[in-house]
Amino acid sequence: MKPWMFRCKDVSQQVSRSMDIQLPYFHRIAIEMHLLMCQYCARFRRQLIMLRKMSRHIDGNQSGAESISKLSKESKERIKKSLRSRL
């Protein structure tokens, strides 16, 4: 691997870190180059951005406890059943 190129694993970690801190200029350029060539990492970045926007929207509208209390009893049971089947 060349020093100016990142692998997908590195890019996904750096994209995630970039949501919290500003990365050095060199890293941002290398990541952008990788994202231009790799549709999977580009999709991962779009998904992180979407999740971030959604969480901010939910945070601004209501707390998580309020949204859970609004679920019907049947919905709560389906969620519990689904979570148990995954364990």
Q: Residues 35-87: pLDDT tens digits?
A: 999 999 999 999 999 988 888 877 666 555 555 567 788 888 888 888 887 66
What global pTM score does this model have?
0.60
- Tell which residue, 29, 24, 23, has the closest CA to residue 5: 29
Query: Which of 32-36's residues contact partners 24+ apart within 8 Å by CB, and which partners?
Result: 33/5, 34/5, 34/6, 34/8, 35/11
